[in-house]
Amino acid sequence: MPESNKPTRRYENLNLLGQVVFLAGTAIRTTANLIDTAIDKAADLVVETEKAFRQGLDPNIEDAKILDEYTGGADDNETPQDQA
């Protein structure tokens, strides 16, 4: 592996502009890594969810059934339709 001819720069030896550029680059790199990790985790979640949906994890579970239906008004204290 060829050695780099670039000298290693230390943060302490940089002038003010160099320190600002260094910190901004570090912040951008860190933010990009966090976004990349979040996207990877979300994609994995979507794949696992779709896989679980297609496989049907538990064949003993029946389809969902509606137990009570409520009227569609704005009042939060509505009564079920079968009791009204």
Q: Considering only CA atoms, give the Rg of the chain.
A: 29
How far is 84 from 68, CA to CA, in rounded Å? 12
Block residue for tokens 């297609």: 54
Instruction: State yes or no: pLDDT of 35 exceeds 90.
Output: yes
**Domain contains 61:** yes
Segment 56-83 mean pLDDT? 63
pLDDT in tens, 41-55: 999 999 998 888 777
pLDDT of 83 reads 54
| 81 contacts 71 by C-beta, under 8 angstroms | yes
**Domain contains 58:** yes
pLDDT of 75 reads 57
Is residue 24 very low, low, confident or very high in pLDDT (cuts 50, 70, 90)? very high
More confident residue, 18 or 64: 18
Is residue 33 very low, low, confident or very high in pLDDT (cuts 50, 70, 90)? very high
> What does residue 16 show for φ and ψ, rounded to 5 degrees?
-60, -45
**Domain contains 2:** no
Q: List the domain range (segments joined by +) for residue 18.
A: 11-84
**Domain contains 37:** yes
How far is 72 from 45, CA to CA, in rounded Å? 33
Query: What share of the chain has pLDDT > 70, as a percent?
Result: 68
Longest dimension (CA), the chain: 84
